[in-house]
A and B are shown apart, each in its own frame.
Chain A
Amino acid sequence: MSNVIGQRVTRYDGMAHVTGETKFVDDQVVPGTLTVKALRSPVSKGKIKNLDISAAEKMPGVAGVITAADVPCNAFGLIPDQPVLVGEDIRYKGEAIAAVAAVDEDAAMEALEKIGLEIEEQQAVLDPLEAMKDGAPQTRPEGNFQIWDDNNYRQVNLGDVDKAFEQADEIVESVHLHPSVEHAPMEPICSLAVPHAGPKLTIYTVSQALYFHLGMLCGILQMEPGDLHCKQWKAKTGSAWRHNTGYADLNYVGGTVGGGFGGKNDIMADHVAALLALKTGRPCKWRWTRAEDLLYSTFRGAWHITIKDAVTKQGRIIGRQMTSIRDAGSYASLNPYVVEKHCYLGAGPYFIPNVRVRGYCVYTNKPPASSMRGFGITPAAFATEVQMDQIADRLGMDPWEVRMTNAFRKGEFTPTKRILNSVAVIEVLQNLAAKAGVELPGHLKAMASTQERG
C-alpha cells in the first residue's frame, strides 16, 4: 500500500453513494416481507392490568402478534434493565408493549387498534431535580439514582478542594443547563429480519455497535438453547448477553448506516423484528416513522451542571467543585458510561490541582437517553468554557489569557491522574487565535506546552 498521508483518498463507498447503489436497511428488497408496527404506551408510568391480543391475531392480513410472553429473555442492555416489550411496569410514554406483523401498514395499524389494553396509571416523575428528592415517585424499583460503589453519584477526587477554596482570591460559581438533543439521522431506525430453516436468522441492522448488539441479540433470542455457557451467564446476571457463542445461528448484517451520531448504539428495533420473524416464519421489517424516531429513539439526555472554582488574582484555577446531574430517562442504556466520561473530563483541558466532581445519573419516566457524540464530554466542555469566560469577566482578564494560563502543560495530569506526555492545548489556542484574526499579546505567543509551569 502506498503512503496516503497528505494525499486525498477516494472514499471506498463514495461512488455507490452518488449513484444510488448503496443499499441501506430499508432498501433491501425481500419478497413477502411483513410490515411491523408497535403498540406503545399512552402513559409515562403505569401497570398493565390486562393485555388481550386475541382479536388482533384474528384480523385479516395479520401474521403474528407478540408480547412480553414471546421474548425468551426479556432484559437487555449493558446493565440489563430494559425489556424488549413491557411485561407489567411501564416506565415511559411510548414504551413498546406489543408488536404486530401484517401484510401491509394499514392491516398492521388496524390490528393495533384491536389490542385490548388496560393500564393502571401511576404518578410519573419527569424532572430529574424532582426525582432526586426524598419521597419522589420511583422510576425503577432500585430507586432513581444510578449507584456507584456505596454512592448515588460517580465521583472523581483530586487533592484538597476545601483548602483550595480557603486559599482562593475569588470564588466563581455558575450553573449551566444543557437541554436534551436528538441525533435525528436522516435514516430512521429500521430493522429487517429474515428467517431461515434451522431456525436461523439474518438481521439487516442500522446498528453502530454490531458486536455489542450481536451478543445481546443472541441472549434475548436465546439462540442455541442447549449452550451451557449461556445458561451459566444468564443464571449469574439475569442478563440477555452472550459472549462468543451462538453466532452461527444469527447472521447480523450491518455497516451501512444512514447517519448515527451515537443514536444507533442501542438496540431499538432488531429484537422485535427478529422475534416476529421467528414467530411468523416470514421476513419482517420494522421501520420507525420520523415521529417515532424523534419521540422514542435514544437521545442526548439533558444536564444540570454547577461549577464552583477557586481562582487566584492571576487567573489560575486552583480548585474546582463540579456537580452534574444527568437526566437519564427510564433505563440505563449507556447513561452510566456517559456520566463517567463526563466526570473524568469535567475539568476540561486545564490543569486544576484540586478537583471534586460528582456526577449524578438520575432516572425519570422519559424514553431512555444514551450516547451522543462525546459521551457526556460535550456538555462538560460547554459548561467549562462558559465558566472560563465568567472567570475572565470577574477578574477583568483576557479570556485567552485565562485559558492559556490554565491549559495543560507536558507532564501534568488529569483529575484521574493520567499523566499527559503529548499536549498541545496552548498551541491549538494560538492557532485558533491566528485563524480568528485575534492578535495575542507577546507573552501568550511565546507560551508553549513544553515549558514547565512557573
Chain B
Amino acid sequence: MHTLELTVNGQGHKVEVGLKTTLLEVLRDKLHITSPKVGCNTGDCGTCSVLLDGVLVRSCITNALSVQGKSVTTLEGIIEPGDIHPLQKAFHENYGSQCGFCTPGMILASKALLDANPSPTRDEVKEALSGNLCRCTGYVKIIDSVLAAADEMKS
C-alpha cells in the first residue's frame, strides 16, 4: 500500500491506496464522496468526471497515485456549502437534469468549459460535452442550461 495525499474540495486527505487504485475509488469508496458515478469504468461515459487542478478528467481511468499532491474538485465542491452555482441553478431551472445520474459529470464538464470560455457558442458547448453521455434528455435541455448559465455569469 502507498500513501496518497491530495486535496478534495479544499480539504486535505491522506489515504492508503494500491498501485491500481483509481481516483474514482478513492473518492467514492474511501472518502464517500458519491457525486462522481461508476457508469462504465472504462473512460467512455463521463459520469465519473472531476476537475483535477481545474482540468476535466475521468476519475475512473485516473490512477490514484498519479494525483499525488494535486487538488480535486467534485460537484460537491464547486461552490461554498449552502450556496448554489449558476450552472446548478440553470440545470435545475432549464430541466437539464432528468434521472440525474450524468448530471454531476455534465455540470463539471460545463464548468471546465465556462472557466476557459465564458461565451461559448452552441457548437462549442456540444463539443465540450461530447465526452459525457446522457440517455434521458437528448441533450437539448442540457445545452440550453449551459448557455443560460453562461448568460447569467456574464451579467
Contacts and interface: CB of A to CB of B under 8 A. Distances in A.
Contact of A19 (B37, B75, B134): B75
A259 B99 contact: yes
Interface string A8-28: 001101111111101110110
Interface secondary structure of B, over-half rule: loop
B59 interface: no
A17 B39 contact: no
B135 interface: yes
A186 B88 contact: no
B99 A18 contact: no
Contacts of B135: 183-186, 259, 261
> What DSSP secondary structure best describes chain A's contact surface?
loop
Contacts of A253: none
A305 B97 CA distance: 36
Contacts of B134: 186
Given A27-B34, A185-B99, A186-B45, A20 B104 contact: yes
A14 B91 CA distance: 8
Given A20-B76, A29-B32, A188-B39, A259 B101 contact: yes
Contact of B40 (A11, A260, A290): A290
B39 A290 contact: yes
A340 to B, nearest CB: 27
A89 B35 CA distance: 41
A290 B44 CA distance: 10
A30 B92 CA distance: 29
Interface string A250-267: 000000111111000000
Contacts of B15: none
Contacts of A22: 100
Contacts of A26: 34, 37-38
A287 interface: yes
Interface in B104-155: 104, 107, 133-136
Contacts of B44: 290
A18 B107 CA distance: 8
Given A186-B135, A287-B38, A18 B102 contact: no
A287 B60 CA distance: 15
A24 B42 contact: no
A289 interface: yes
B19 to A, nearest CB: 12
B39 A186 contact: yes
Interface string B55-96: 000000000000000000011100000001001110110011
Given A20-B76, A186-B47, A186-B134, A289 B41 contact: yes
B34 A18 contact: no
A290 B41 contact: yes
A186 B135 CA distance: 7
A96 B133 CA distance: 29
A18 B97 contact: yes
A187 interface: yes
Residue among A17, A24, A261 having the largest count of chain B Cβ atoms under 10 Å? A17
Contacts of A27: 34, 37
Contacts of A258: 37, 99-101
A24 B101 contact: yes
B47 A14 contact: no
A261 B101 CA distance: 14
Given A186-B45, A259-B136, A20 B101 contact: no
A20 B74 contact: yes
A34 to B, nearest CB: 13
A188 B133 CA distance: 13
Given A13-B100, A14-B97, A187-B39, 7 more contacts: A10-B92, A15-B88, A18-B107, A24-B101, A29-B34, A261-B135, A290-B45
Interface of B: 32, 34-35, 37-42, 44-45, 47, 74-76, 84, 87-89, 91-92, 95-97, 99-104, 107, 133-136
A-B pairs, 4 with minimum CB distance? A20-B35, A258-B101, A17-B100, A27-B34
Interface of A: 10-11, 13-20, 22-24, 26-27, 29, 183-188, 256-261, 287, 289-290
